[in-house]
Amino acid sequence: MADSTDETFMRRAIALAQEGLRAPGGSPIGCVIVLDGKIIGEGHNETEGQHDPTAHGEVVAMRRAGTAISNWELRGATLYSTLQPCGMCTMASIWAKIGRIVYGAGRDDVHEMYFEDRHFDTDDFIRDAYRKDLSIEGGLMAKECAELYFKPGQALTFEEQANL
Ligand SMILES: [Zn+2]
């Protein structure tokens, strides 16, 4: 269950997302990774600026967390993301041995351009994972998080639709 500590870290993720919105080549998906009550990695989406399709906020934060603790295994860590992680970031979280994923806006709260599959819910990756020490919770501060994103059904240009 989410608590006030979770809200504190989600607020930080939202602040990072807002930074991403302002940063040249950034976009508003913020992520914080916490281990033993401390932030060990954080970031926002940098795909445009880094010319790197894998530089999603979660991956950026995972790389920094791994560097911070000199370990690619982030076992016991909690990952906070302002948006439900995409397939790539969900799988990376599984491989990183993250213990808990908490996200804000879910796929039904935002435009479909943030996801790669028409129907598949990335929560299902977690439910089907071999790992039993991994949980996922969505909807924390969902309204505040959803305000960062294009709305469901919003008319977007081809360039704005990252998944096309
Ligand atoms: Zn992603």
**Catalytic pick from 19, 42, 48, 58?**
58
CB 48 within 8 A of CB 22: no
Based on the residue annotation, tell me whether 144 is a catalytic residue of this protein.
Answer: no
pTM score of the predicted model: 0.95
CA 53 to centroid of ligand 1, rounded, Å: 9
- DSSP characters for 128-158? HSS-SS-EEE--TTHHHHHTTSPPTT----T
**15-50: pLDDT as tens digits:** 999 999 999 888 999 999 999 999 999 999 999 999
